[in-house]
Amino acid sequence: MRFTVQRENILKPLQFVIGVVEKRQTLPVLSNVLIEAKDNTLSFTATDLEVEIVASVQLDISEKGLITLPARKFVDICRALPEDSKVDVWLDAEKDRVVIRSGRSRFNLATLPATDFPNIEEVKGQTNFTIPQSVLKNLIEKTQFSMAQQDVRFYLNGLLLEVSDQVIKAVATDGHRLSYCERDVDVAPKSRIQVILPRKGVVELAKLLEDSETLAEVIIGTNHIRVNLPNVQFTSKLVDGQFPDYERVIPKHGNKEVITNRELLRSALVRTSILSNEKYRGIRIRLQPGLLQAQAHNPEMEEAEEEVEVSYQGDNLEIGFNVNYLMEALAAIPGESVKMIYADPNSSCLILPVNENVGCKYVVMPMRL
């Protein structure tokens, strides 16, 4: 195998796949990237057995071949080379080494056999559709922060994608809060499809998607999901589990409605949170007509208080929340104004954009202070 390529042309596809490579692997070959040169296409594949990313670039290939290289070392070498430099890569078959030359630089990397590199099984399509990359990226960004981290309820450590007639929904929850977002999409499956993407797959897919109208092809199988982008193929195993009934979690009967400037409230919460308990992050929200008070205190007996003018005409209410959950929900909501709906001190708060056509909802459970 031999090819010569401009540094920038090889660096971009390598950066697409490197996020999948874990530093500590059970199999040595999983620390490597699979490089295949054939038919004037150079492709790079990385996997951790759960997520696989294949990125390719068009190139004049001197000699075709298939080999694996230490992924992070190869990326670091390419990053460290001068801009616009040419990179010459060839396999020294006698020594089982790959030689990389660029200008006066020369590197000799160990290889592992390509036959040892695992292949994710072919995705058998249950349904497939196309969606603008910006729409799919937005769905993920508006919801992924509510995914659980290392929860024993493994199905919470991921993102629910639900596809039904002309609608795609993304839902994430860690049991204390929930994020919901929906968008219209041209798809009509025979029945509603629900799949759970694992946390790592969600994070890597969000990095690959662009804020453009370029279409992404989504193929949902029984055990895998595949997203085909220009020159990049993303495949992830699905989490085998039953996601909670999110419809039951979203409050329906709140009668205390607060409308306020989103950024003013978020800034006030940021300042108040400075003196909240570092472990529990609890703050107290007090509501009275026309005014919202946010209060925090910590074990050192320090206190913070902020007041924000709001549109509210209901009864006085006092309720505690994890301030991080409120701030992240407010950061995700589009538009200048935000609507918060409460029922009582023991019920969840529903946070919505004032323009309800946006299709995002955020639920935050109260906490005892």
130: domain CATH number is: 3.10.150.10
Q: Give the residue from 92, 116, 140 where a domain finishes.
A: 116
pTM as predicted: 0.93
> Same structural domain for residues 226 and 276?
no
Q: Are residues 135 and 244 in the same domain?
A: yes
Is 369 contained in some domain?
no
User: 3-state SS string over the chain?
Assistant: CEEEEEHHHHHHHHHHHHCCCCCCCCCHHHHEEEEEEECCEEEEEEECCCEEEEEEEECCEEECEEEEEEHHHHHHHHHHCCCCCEEEEEEECCCCEEEEEECCEEEEEECECHHHCCCCCCCCEEEEEEEEHHHHHHHHHCCHHHCCCCCCCHHHCEEEEEEECCEEEEEEECCCEEEEEEEECCCCCCCCEEEEEEHHHHHHHHHHCCCCCCEEEEEEECCEEEEEECCEEEEEECCCCCCCCHHHHCCCCCCEEEEEEHHHHHHHHHHHHCCCCCCCCEEEEEEECCEEEEEEECCCCCEEEEEEECECCCCCEEEEEEHHHHHHHHHHCCCCEEEEEECCCCCCEEEEECCHHHCEEEEECCCCC
Same-domain status, 132 and 224 = yes
pLDDT at 143: 98
Q: Quick one: tokens of 25?
A: 């692997």
pLDDT value at position 15?
95
Residues 129 and 244 in one domain: yes
Last residue of a domain, one of 212, 230, 248: 248
Last residue of a domain, one of 81, 116, 151: 116
**Same domain, yes or no, for 19 and 39?**
yes
Walk along the chain (369 residues) in steps of 10 and give the mean pLDDT of each run.
93 96 87 93 95 95 91 96 94 85 95 91 85 96 97 96 95 98 91 96 97 96 95 96 95 94 97 96 97 97 97 96 98 94 96 85 95
156 domain-assigned: yes
pLDDT value for 356: 66
User: Domain count of the chain?
Assistant: 3
Q: How much is the pLDDT for 92?
A: 81
Asked whether residue 243 falls in the same domain as residue 255, the answer is no
CB 269 within 8 A of CB 260: no
In this structure, are 131 and 234 located in the same domain?
yes
Q: What is the extent of the structural domain holding 289? A: 251-364
Based on the domain organization, do 234 and 129 belong to the same domain? yes
Q: Tell whether 152 and 232 lie within a shared domain.
A: yes
